[in-house]
Amino acid sequence: MRVEGKCIGDCSKCQLLADGEVDMIPCILDQIFARVKKQGAELEEIKKKIVEKSNTTEIQLAGIEEEEE
């Protein structure tokens, strides 16, 4: 069951959950998916800034070396 309105993001303080109006599992999954989507957008923004600063299309991470063949 979906809830109209905005999730407060803290199941321990959710009155809808306490009143039995929502099921916890779908709410938690929605929170996880929303967080992953937000982190993905933030990661893309960081990658964009790195590429702009380095003037290259290749991003290299410290401590990760390409395998030599």
pLDDT at 66 over 60: no
Q: pLDDT tens digit string along 25-65?
A: 888 888 899 899 999 999 999 988 888 887 755 666 666 66
Indicate whether 34 belongs to any domain.
yes
Determine the straight-line distance between the first and last CA of the chain, rounded to whole angstroms. 53
Question: Could you tell me which residue, 1 or 22, shows the higher pLDDT?
Answer: 22
Position 8 pLDDT exceeds 90: no
- In the 8-state DSSP scheme, what is residue 10? -
- Note whether residue 30 is domain-resident: yes
**3 pLDDT higher than 60:** no
Pairwise CA distance, residues 55 & 57, whole Å? 7
Asked, for residue 27, whether it belongs to a domain, the answer is yes
Whether residue 24 lies inside any domain: the answer is: yes
pTM, two decimals, is 0.56
Q: Where are the beta strands (DSSP E) in the chain?
A: none
